[in-house]
Amino acid sequence: MNSFFIEFHDPLFGIIIFFVIVFLITIFSYWWAKYKSKEHTKSLDNFIKDFKTIPSSKDMNMLISKGDMSEKSWMLLATLYSKNGDYEKSIEIYSELLKITEKENERELMYLLGRTYFKAGFLERSKKIFLTILKDNPRSPYVLHNLLLVYEYMKDYDSAQEVLEPLDELKSDIELDAQYLKATKIIYSTDMKSDEKSKELLAIHKLNGNLTYMIFDYLFKHDPDLAWKNLDSSKCEYLSDIFWSLQRKDLNFDIISNNGYLKELYCARGDISGVTKSNIFEFDVLINLEKKSGATLKFEYICDNCKHVFPFAFNRCSNCHSIDTSNIEISLVKDFNRDFLQENNSFQ
Ligand SMILES: [Zn+2]
């Protein structure tokens, strides 16, 4: 019976104990490594979280008033917040800095605060700030130009036009702004009739050929005959999307047949025939595949000044605020409208 038990002094007992100790050490080492790795990941997560979270308003006010960071550094931080679209934080920093800043930096801070309010869409606050700056510094073209933008976004075109006068006195180039504001005021006027608006808009365009897209967009929508009659054939490419969406009943086939670009465009759309190829890739594909391609044109609008791309047409770039800088980029996309119509027809 005793042969089944290992004696205390038996060498086998020592070996078993040794292996048990080795096993326990291995288990403990494995557990310890796993625990440390978990802790490391947790602290790394917290570290990254610290960078993602932004200080609360209270913390920020305290930090600014303590003066550990220079005003310039705070301004840089506010600019970064603004660039990333966090206008609230940017406004908080500028507002706190205004409480402690020297008189000489006040104007610059107010200007930046006004700009941030404008970007954030607080137009009334922005207007008040720019008007306050102008009270003591009326000869400030940057502030005047920003005030003009604020009035324009508020659709207060009369006030915007009044700002042009001091800008003109300061030798700023206001010609395009003046024409643009005049045209915008006409388009949004509730007192003028449509034919009166068309006539005045055309008169603005005839001055020096500016605002082609803005004016012909209105004309083709409200008086296509007048638009065709006054169309400058060299500017057809700027109006590609307008032509592409024109209804067939509004087309002037005499003008189209005498204009190479329009002939290709309307052949690609399937309104006319007789064109077999085009140097414009998108038109060429649509012309050669006729209506079998299942594709249509997609338009994007690139600002010639800041190169920002927009999915919609614009007359004043909302990024750099320049006027008449929109350029059209054409691409091919699947014609979902055609698929939808085909599906609807198949149900009938
Ligand atoms: Zn731009």
* 307-321 tens-digit pLDDT: 999 999 999 999 999
- Quote the Cα angle for 51-54-56, to 5°: 145
265 Cα–ligand 1 center, Å: 27
217 Cα–ligand 1 center, Å: 20
Mean predicted confidence (pLDDT) in 34-50: 69
Pairing of strands 326-334, 295-303: antiparallel
Angle between helices 212-222 and 194-208 (to 10 degrees): 150
Query: Of 288, 227, 280, 290, whose CA–CA distance to 255 is shortest?
Result: 227
Q: Is the pLDDT assigned to residue 344 strictly greater than 70?
A: no
16 Cα–ligand 1 center, Å: 81
More confident residue, 338 or 38: 38
324 Cα–ligand 1 center, Å: 10
213 Cα–ligand 1 center, Å: 16
256 Cα–ligand 1 center, Å: 32
304 Cα–ligand 1 center, Å: 7
Mean predicted confidence (pLDDT) in 298-304: 96
Q: How far is CA 191 from each of CA 17, 185, 188, 195, 197, rounded to the nearest angstrom?
A: 103, 11, 9, 12, 10
Q: Are 151 and 159 in contact (CB under 8 A)?
A: yes
So what's the pLDDT on residue 100? 83
299 Cα–ligand 1 center, Å: 17
pLDDT per residue as tens digits for the range 141-195: 999 999 999 999 999 999 999 999 999 999 989 999 999 999 999 999 999 999 9
303 Cα–ligand 1 center, Å: 5
CA distance 173 to 164: 10
Q: Is the pLDDT assigned to residue 128 strictly greater than 80?
A: yes
pLDDT, the chain, mean = 88
**What is the distance of C-alpha 137 from the center of its chain?**
32
So what's the pLDDT on residue 33? 86
329 Cα–ligand 1 center, Å: 15
314 Cα–ligand 1 center, Å: 10
pLDDT per residue as tens digits for the range 43-97: 666 655 554 455 666 666 667 666 667 888 888 899 999 999 999 999 999 998 8
Q: Is the pLDDT assigned to residue 2 strictly greater than 60?
A: no
Q: Tokens 């004016």 belong to which residue? A: 215
327 Cα–ligand 1 center, Å: 11
Q: How far is CA 273 from each of CA 135, 265, 290, 316, 341, rounded to the nearest angstrom?
A: 64, 11, 10, 37, 23
158 Cα–ligand 1 center, Å: 24
So what's the pLDDT on residue 53? 54
